[in-house]
Amino acid sequence: DTGVSQNPRHKITKRGQNVTFRCDPISEHNRLYWYRQTLGQGPEFLTYFQNEAQLEKSRLLSDRFSAERPKGSFSTLEIQRTEQGDSAMYLCASRDSLNTEAFFGQGTRLTVV
């Protein structure tokens, strides 16, 4: 499968724990995006990378959230001290500079108990 890959697909964690998600974009795509989707809502933009540079962050991305893309390939999204309100589907998307179509992964569903 050469699409966007996200791991894990599901994560259940206790409140206060840290979690990390991984996204592997389509290999030639230099732009990578993170979104969050809660029940009954559309995806909400969190942050975006061009290669390894994080160029844009939404105000939704609190201090407990950090994203990295160290070598301009895969990316990680870490949530520290998780709260129940962090329960959501976390989506990753990628695209190249020339094509405005973003390709989405299947997401990581986080449940904080």
Partner 1 sequence: AQSVSQHNHHVILSEAASLELGCNYSYGGTVNLFWYVQYPGQHLQLLLKYFSGDPLVKGIKGFEAEFIKSKFSFNLRKPSVQWSDTAEYFCAVNSGGGADGLTFGKGTHLIIQP
Q: Name the minimum Å distance from CB 106 to partner 1.
A: 5
Output 47 or 82, the one with its CB closest to partner 1: 47
Q: Name the minimum Å distance from CB 17 to partner 1.
A: 27
Q: Name the minimum Å distance from CB 31 to partner 1.
A: 7
For partner 1, the binding residues (CB under 8 A) are 3-4, 31, 33, 35, 40-45, 48, 55-56, 58, 91, 93, 100-107
Output 25 or 105, the one with its CB closest to partner 1: 105
Output 27 or 100, the one with its CB closest to partner 1: 100
Q: What is the DSSP string of the chain?
A: --S-EEE-SEEEE-TT--EEEEEE--TT--EEEEEEE-TTS--EEEEEEETTEEEEE-TTS-TTEEEE-TTSS-EEEEESS--GGG-EEEEEEEE-SS--PPEE---EEEEE-
